[in-house]
Amino acid sequence: MTTPQDPGAAPRRCLAVVLAAGEGKRMRSHLPKVLHPVAGRSMLAHVLDAVGEAGADALAVVVGPGRDDVAAEARAWAPQARVFVQDERLGTAHAVLAAREAFHQGFDDILVLFADTPLVRPETFSHLREKLSQGAGVVALGFAPADPTGYGRLLTDGDGALLAIREHKDATPEELAVGACNAGLMALDGARALGWLERIDNSNAQNEYYLTDAVAIARGEGAACALVMAPAEEVLGINDRVQLAAAEAEIQNRLRRAAMLDGATLVAPETVFFSHDTVLATDVVVEPHVVFGPGVRVGEGCVIHAFSHLEGATLAKNVAIGPYARLRPGANLADKAKIGNFVEIKKAEIGEGAKVNHLTYIGDASIGPRANIGAGVITCNYDGFLKYRTRIGADAFIGSNSALVAPVEIGDRAFVGSGSVVTQNVEADALAVARGRQAVLPGWATAFRKKMAALKAAKKG
């Protein structure tokens, strides 16, 4: 939080009030609506992040009674946020006033945001603030939905100046014919906001304290009210899981576009799913049907083959993974490492140029540079109680279908014979074979067949 500065020189100070006290019944969920994730993080986190980017100096989050989970999420993403409880859900103006105390520090701009409207871009918040700096008392955010049913209508005069916002349930037939609707978010002049909000009453169809009434009240006092229009997909409010999926689709499209414009090739972008924080360097190629969970960083020149799933993984340069690879949290792949099909990697360092090509589980392990891990190798990292590490040295060769029972170390350049169950450390440059020795009995099969055929004939006779 900034301290009061010389108003002549200082940038405008902004308080953002995030309304998150809605019940979200239509989600039909045990999880509060605003905690449902979009692109890998909660709607609330998206809003806090966007408003932070737009330069808010202070944040107030209004939650419903007993909603410690929502409060905790707010603090997790914005430790400086103050959390206020709205004891009764009496309308959007009532909700803003629950954060009344936060206003007293003296802000130039007040932004009111809805936590269930997670796709608003930081630039849009900046546009709202710009209008305040140009002298507006209240700035509404408008959009033109395909179907305006249920939204507040933006009533303007002949010059397009905003006169009032009329809620759907209070509107006359003429007002209902207005196509421009209120997205809900609003910016108010910090010096006058509290006075206007306190004058709002609940004499309307829903007996609610409508934030939207601030427009007519401000106009009544001679303040100018302005309008910023946004594309409908940006102000999508989420009330049910159909809208949740629509928001996910919109944000995925944004993330795909951003990834491509930043220099990654997405062969079939509509089939790739990102997390809000996925980082792809230039010349990364992502084949179809790839899912990125949170915390993935992919370095230059990497290829993610089709049907791979990554989460909490770091790929250095020119790494290739998949098709059908699974990288779990803590997978850390050095330059030119290669992870093949049906391979799962968890909490493991894979050295430069190392290969883990087929049907393998590597967990709680480190693999040295250029090591080759054969098909079907398993690091047995768990005994049902605790987890243990496997260390494989540089240039080591682990034969196919071996089980490395951790804790265990395989030295540099060592070989492990195929099908081994390795329970003891193997020193550098050694060969370890831990399986039954092969026995070959010449002519045994012929003798066996003869004996059995005779037995069978005797039984029939």
Q: Which of 16, 21, 348, 378 binds ligand UD1 (CB under 6 A)?
A: 21
User: For residue 308, what are the contacts with CB-CB under 8 A and spacing of at least 6?
Assistant: 290, 291, 321, 322, 323, 324, 325, 326, 327
Residue 71 in the binding site for ligand UD1 (CB under 6 A): no
118 binds, among Mg ion, ligand UD1, none (CB under 5 to 8 A by kind): none
Among 182, 360, 379, 390, binds ligand UD1 (CB under 6 A): 182
**30 catalytic residue (yes or no):** no
Report which residue type is found at 30.
H
Single out the segment in contact with ligand UD1 by CB under 6 A; choices: 128-136, 179-187, 327-335, 443-451. 179-187
Indicate whether 103 belongs to the interface with ligand UD1 (CB under 6 A): no
> In DSSP terms, which residues pair with 143 in a beta bridge?
181
Site for ligand UD1 in 145-174 (CB under 6 A): 151-152, 165, 167
- Tell me if 237 contacts ligand UD1 by CB under 6 A: yes
| C-beta closer to ligand UD1: residue 153 or 317 | 153
The kind and range of the H/E element at 197 are: helix 193-199
Q: How many residues bind ligand UD1, per CB under 6 A? A: 26
Binding mask 229-248 for Mg ion (x = CB under 5 A): --------x-----------
Shortest distance in whole angstroms from residue 116 CB to Mg ion: 7
> Of 210 and 273, which has the nearer Cβ to ligand UD1?
210
Site string for ligand UD1, 187-216 (x = CB under 6 A): -----------------------xxx----
Binding flag, residue 356, ligand UD1 (CB under 6 A): no
Q: Is-contact 324 340, C-beta < 8 A?
A: no
Q: Which stretch binds ligand UD1 (CB under 6 A): 18-26, 123-131, 286-294, 347-355?
A: 18-26
Nearest to 325 by CA among 294, 286, 364: 286
Instruction: Match 């949290």 to its residue by tokens.
Output: 329
Q: Residues of 332-360 as b/e, b for ≥16 C-beta within 10 angstroms?
A: bbbbbbbbbbbbbbbbbbbbbbbbbebbb
Nearest residue to Mg ion on Cβ basis = 237
Instruction: Give dist(CA 97, CA 261) in Å, integer.
Output: 42
At 262, list the tokens: 């930043």
From the list ligand UD1, Mg ion, none, which binds 371 (C-beta under 5 to 8 Å, kind-based)? none
Of residues 4 through 43, those in contact with Mg ion by CB under 5 A are none
Binding partner of residue 94 among Mg ion, ligand UD1, none, CB cut-off 5 to 8 Å per kind:
ligand UD1
| Structural contact between residues 419 and 404, judged by C-beta atoms closer than 8 angstroms | no
For residue 61, state whether it binds ligand UD1 (rule: CB under 6 A): no
Q: Exposed, middle or buried, 248 (CB in 10 Å: 0-12/13-18/19+)? A: middle
Of 51, 60, 186, whose CA–CA distance to 128 is shortest?
186
Query: Binding residue for ligand UD1 (CB under 6 A) from 86, 308, 360, 390?
Result: 86
Please tell me whether residue 32 binds ligand UD1 under the rule CB under 6 A.
no
Alpha-carbon gap, residue 451 to 351, rounded angstroms? 55
Of 92-100, 321-329, 358-366, 414-422: span binding ligand UD1 (CB under 6 A): 92-100
**Residue number with CB closer to ligand UD1 (91 or 269):** 91
Smallest distance, ligand UD1 to C-beta of residue 292, A: 28
Burial 264-294 (b: 16+ CB within 10 A, else e): bebeebebbbbbbebbbbeebbbbebbbbbb
| φ, ψ (nearest 5 deg) of residue 333 | -110, 125
Alpha-carbon distance of 296 to 310, in angstroms, equals 7
End-to-end CA distance of the chain: 99
Catalytic residue numbers read 358
Q: Which residues bind ligand UD1 (CB under 6 A)?
A: 19, 21-22, 62, 86, 89-92, 94-95, 114-116, 151-152, 165, 167, 181-184, 210-212, 237
Q: Which residues bind Mg ion (CB under 5 A)?
A: 237
